[in-house]
């Protein structure tokens, strides 16, 4: 049985944090007397294939409902809300998957309804991930 390396996730997590930080940064030349922008919210979600062969990611914002690139944003937000932001408590469904070992690692980094989020988990294959996380990582 192969160990699940977490050191490979550090570059992905660092990139996610950097992107969220840039998205939340205030403009350098804001006009004097204007209100500062509202605190950014959103969770940067990633799915990474075995040995970091590929990475997909989207920013999901469940607070402002800004149009984003998550194809199932409403369902994903509902699942995260139901779990109260705890990704280990996402509503899972049962089903049958092959026993093929093709690990995928998912991560969530950012802010959900004012609460910081930093979470990752590796599943044996994409089918297992799909049943465990529902619409959240279906992009």
Is pTM beyond 0.85? Reply is no
Q: Residue written as tokens 């294959």?
A: 125
91: helix, strand or coil: coil
CB 10 within 8 A of CB 18: no
What is the pLDDT tens value at each position of the chain, 139 positions in all? 444 444 444 554 444 444 444 444 434 434 444 444 445 679 999 999 999 999 999 999 998 877 678 999 999 999 999 999 999 999 999 999 999 999 999 999 999 999 999 999 999 999 999 999 999 999 9
Domain boundaries, given as residue ranges, for the chain: 42-133
* d(C-alpha 116, C-alpha 118), whole Å: 7
Under DSSP, is residue 119 helix (H, G, I), strand (E, B) or coil?
Answer: strand
Please state the φ and ψ torsions of residue 53, each to the nearest 5 degrees: -65, -30
Superfamily of chain region 42-133: Subtilisin inhibitor-like (3.30.350.10)
Helix (H, G, I), strand (E, B) or coil at 122: strand
């Amino acid at each position: 049985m192969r160990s699940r390396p977490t050191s490979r996730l550090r570059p992905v997590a660092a990139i996610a944090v950097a992107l969220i930080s840039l998205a939340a940064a205030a403009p350098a030349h804001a006009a004097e007397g204007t209100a500062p922008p509202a605190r950014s919210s959103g969770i940067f979600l990633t799915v990474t294939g075995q040995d970091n062969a590929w990475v997909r990611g989207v920013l999901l914002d469940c607070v402002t409902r800004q149009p984003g690139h998550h194809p199932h944003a409403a369902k994903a937000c509902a699942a995260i809300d139901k779990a109260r932001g705890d990704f280990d408590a996402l509503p899972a469904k049962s089903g049958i998957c092959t026993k093929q070992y093709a690990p995928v690692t998912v991560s969530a980094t950012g802010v959900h309804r004012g609460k910081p989020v930093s979470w990752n988990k590796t599943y044996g294959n994409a089918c297992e991930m799909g049943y465990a996380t529902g619409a959240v990582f279906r992009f």
